[in-house]
Amino acid sequence: MIGPEKSLWSATSLMPRMTARLCPRPCLSAGKPANSALSFRPPGLVRTISAFYSKVVVIGAGVIGLEVAAAAVELGCVVHVLEVAPHAMGRSLPLAVSEALVSKHHSRGVDLRFGVRVAALEGRGTVSSVRLEGGEVIACDVVVYGVGVRPRTELAEVAGLAVDNGIVVNRLLQTQDPDIFACGDVCRYESRLFGRALRLENWRNAEDQADTAARNMLGQEKAFDEVPWFWSNQHDFAQVAGLPTHGEITIPATSGAARLFLSVTADGVLRGANAIGPVRDVAGPIRKLKAAIALAPTIDIGTNGCSPAAIDAVLEN
C-alpha cells in the first residue's frame, strides 16, 4: 500500500506476518477438530477441544502451548506437554523462573516432559496416540502443537531489502530503503538499551512499533527503544519485562502473593524481571520494574546475595 509521500506500508493483513514451523512428518492434517491435530489458535480453541476431547497432548512448551495446557486442564482434560528443549519458555525465561512456572502447572495436574522428541502421531483417520522417539506411547484424542514461528520476509527480499532473522530496520523502523518501514513480529531492530538487534514476537511490541512506524512515516523521527513486556495467562498471570535471559543471576523476591524474579548481570545491572501470581499482585511490581529496566540500574548483590532493601529500592523508584 503506497502512503503519503510515496512511503510504502506493508499491511500484515495482506499475508501472514509469520509462518508456523510445522512438526516433521508423519503428522495428520491440521485445521479441523475431526483431524485431531491443531497447529493454530482460532477463537475458542480450548473450549472446542474440551467439548469434543478429553485427552490432550500439547507439543511445545512455549507461551501458546502452556496457555492451551493451562486452560485445557482447568476445563477437565488430561494434559501432557512435550518439549524437546530442557525447560519451558526457554527463549523468554531463566531456568529458575521456568521451574517455578512448571511447578505451578504440575500442581494443577499438567504432565510436562522435557528433552523428548515426537516420532509420530498414530491413528486411523484421527489421532489416537503420540509415539516418542524412545518408544513410549501416550494415548490422546487430540494434539495441539505450538512449535514456533518464522518471519515471512519474501516481500522484503523481492524488494532487495536486508533480511537477517527478520526484516532489518534501524531505530526509526526504516529498512535500508528509508521510504520503507517494517514493524512487529517480522522486523529486527537495533536496541540501544540492550546493545543488540532484537526481533520480538508479542502483541504489545507489535502495537508499540506500529505507533512508532506511523509517526515516523509522518516525519516525526521517533526512535523506538521500548522495554519489552508481555503477559501470559497460565493458571496465574505470568508477566515478563525486559530480557530476563540476558541476566547471569536470577534474584527471587515477593510482593504480596506474587513471586518476583529479577535478572541481573554479573555486575548487578538489571536487565529483566518476571512476576508470577494473581494479576492484582503482579501488575504493580512489574510496571515499576519495567520502568526501572529502562534506566539500567545497578543492584547491590553483595557477597551474601541481594538484600530485600536493595530490591525495595528498585520497586520504590
- Residue 127 predicted with pLDDT over 80: yes
Model pLDDT for residues 151-206, shown as the tens digit of each residue: 999 999 999 999 999 999 999 999 999 999 999 999 999 999 999 999 999 889 99
What single DSSP character describes residue 2?
Answer: B
Phi and psi at 229, nearest 5°, equal -155, 135
The beta strand positions in the chain, using DSSP E, are 8-9, 18-20, 37-38, 55-59, 78-83, 111-114, 118-122, 129-132, 137-139, 142-145, 149-151, 167-168, 180-181, 187-191, 196-198, 229-234, 236-242, 249-255, 258-264, 270-277
If DSSP codes are grouped into helix, strand and coil, which group holds residue 114?
A: strand
Measured between alpha carbons, how far is residue 118 from residues 79, 83, 132, 149 in Å? 16, 9, 4, 18
Tell me the domains of the chain and their CATH numbers: 4-15+155-217 (3.50.50.60), 22-147 (3.50.50.60), 229-316 (3.30.390.30)
Under the banding of pLDDT at 50, 70 and 90, the label for residue 24 is: very low
- Residue 104 predicted with pLDDT over 60: yes
Instruction: List the one residue out of 269, 265, 254 whose CA is nearest residue 308.
Output: 254
Number of CB atoms found within 10 A of residue 75's CB? 15
Q: What is the DSSP string of 127-179?
A: --EEEETTS-EEE-SEEEE---EEE--HHHHHTT--BSSSEE--TTSB-SSTT
- Mean of all residue pLDDT scores within the chain: 84
What is the mean predicted confidence (pLDDT) over 29-56? 63
Q: What is the DSSP string of 274-289?
A: EEEE-HHHHHHHHHHH
